[in-house]
Structure 1
């Protein structure tokens, strides 16, 4: 293994905190990863990693070397990508919210792979906090304003939201007429994964955000269950419009209070602040931003 490849192995071990996981990521036997680090330590004459039965950590020299390796590997990738014929290659790991992936990303993947035939994509699903470096993820797509300070967040879209209920619900409780006259109505609670609390309904009134919390007999923390409960007439819900387009068209759900809709939900691509963006991550971010923008149910919004 040459010196550059050994650096790549070392960087992945540091980021994953494990020889075994790093070797799996890179498609190498664990013994090869171990030998690569031994060769680096012998060449440099310093100890780079502290190994225990549970963890692998950098020494002070190892941390400094890791930062240098990142810079060198990024420079190499930049130099190679500077040529017009250069295409990104290798494995790209992204974490996405499943409903959005099925709506915006998966249908367009044949075009993505046609444009970038040397890329492989591993796409995991979730809406929890992700340790991007520790879990070996290159970038994640998330809705809502990010709270983490050690990441870079690029906003790629704004998803229009809508208030809906079933015809059965409206038949029992009446069609809401005003956002501030909802006495006698109820909502289905949605618990925030960030705070654990039930989110209020929100309405944009002359450019000002207003919130209302209604009685609820059911609270959930999953998007599919949230919508299914509304279809059963259990209360008002607020969701991205794209997720209920078919329900609205077929009458399973009805739009309520369209003159005071919820504020749109931002979609961000998150990636580690400690890393310079690789070519494969850059092309994915640009591609996914265009895919969101190409749908009439989303509003393009690209700012760092």
Structure 2
């Protein structure tokens, strides 16, 4: 059975679209459609139900998909067993990373990983918005923050210490808060995946409890660069990972406030779709990224 055709089928099934699968695989839509049709003829059954609006797996297609994914993972492991060690791994990797971590930590160290595995092709998406690894075709994603209930496999890496920040100009204009009650006279820049005020407030730990003090919010952003820029511009207080703000604190461009009322450390984890066998190239990438990030993280809370 043609492994390339199986990979095409799996991508179409995951995306529910021949067009999107073709775009991700770098193929024409007609070639993708023909590969799936050949599989169906070979198997003697319809795998996908096609309509003008969507593509769905048939019951046979659902059974075939599960076996197909396991077969592809086994085939990749089998191939890797007999490749000369000097050649490293081969194949394509698609990874989604938070923008700041990609820029500051992962990409600067990427040459060493590619030097060890020169036959790999890596695609990196940098976004502060959460993606669906299965739907969007990623081998793994790096997540910062509390994980929602998911069928993905999570590999916890540690946590990032948090801090509260303001610009000197903002503090000169509005005063420095000394207690939670003082926050009633201040403004918060809110970070949210969607541009709404849901969840806005000053987060802090009270013993083992996480609490939120309501605050006035005049600006909502959905990206880490915009969040930091808003604070530097004096638009309000923010709560952010200390690692990403330390250079600004050292330069005096930002000031830490209310250190006794900081949020709980933010967990960091690698996530990947459930597989019976993890492809060697994915396992190698996960291990490498974990090693790169470990010195930058605290133990999980």
TM range (shorter): 0.7 to 0.9
Instruction: After TM superposition, give the deviation of residue 248 of structure 1 in Å.
Output: 0.8
5+ long unaligned stretches in structure 2: none
What does residue 41 of structure 2 align with?
A: 42
- CA deviations 1:98-137 (Å, max 9, x no partner) are 1221122111111121122111111123233423222222
Supply the distance in 2 between the matched residues of 1:17 and 1:29 (Cα, whole angstroms). 16
Task: Give the whole-Å Cα distance in 2 for the aligned partners of 1:172 and 1:38.
Answer: 68
Match in the other structure for 1:226: 227
Distance verdict in 2 for CA 1:184–1:26, change over 3 Å? closer
SS of the residue corresponding to residue 134 of structure 2 reads coil
- In 2, the alpha carbon distance for the partners of 1:301 and 1:82 equals 35
Residue number in structure 2 paired with 1:91: 92
Partner of 2:152: 151
Alignment of 1:268-283 (within 5 A): 268-273=269-274, 276-283=277-284
In the TM superposition, residue 161 of structure 1 has moved relative to its aligned partner by 1.0
Q: How many residues are treated as equivalent by the alignment?
A: 298
Question: What is the CA RMSD across the aligned residues, in angstroms?
Answer: 2.6
Q: Which residue of 1 aligns with 2:21?
A: 22
Residues 1:254 and 1:51: Cα distance change in structure 2 (over 3 Å): same
Structure 1 portions without partners, runs of 5+: none
User: Hey, what's the Cα distance between the residues in 2 that align with 1:209 and 1:126?
Assistant: 27
More helix by share: 2
User: Is the 1:200–1:212 Cα contact (8 Å) retained in structure 2?
Assistant: yes
Task: Identify if the C-alpha distance between structure 1 residues 232 and 22 changes in structure 2 by more than 3 Å, giving closer, same or farther.
Answer: closer
Corresponding residue for 2:298? 299
Mapped to 1, the partners of 2:259 and 2:28 lie a distance apart of 58
Match of 2:182 in 1: 182
Q: Deviations over 1:50-86 (max 9, x none)?
A: 2223322222112111111111111222333345827
What SS is found at the alignment partner of 2:227? helix
- Cα pair distance change 1:101/1:183, threshold 3 Å: closer
Map Cα deviations across residues 5-58 of structure 1 (whole Å, 9 max, x no partner). Answer: 322222222122233433343344434333322332222221222222332222
So what's the TM-score if we normalise by structure 1? 0.86
1:245-266 CA-to-partner distances (Å, cap 9, x unmatched) read 2211111111112344321111
Corresponding residue of 1:8: 7
Distance in 2 (CA, whole Å) between partners of 1:125 and 1:275 is: 28
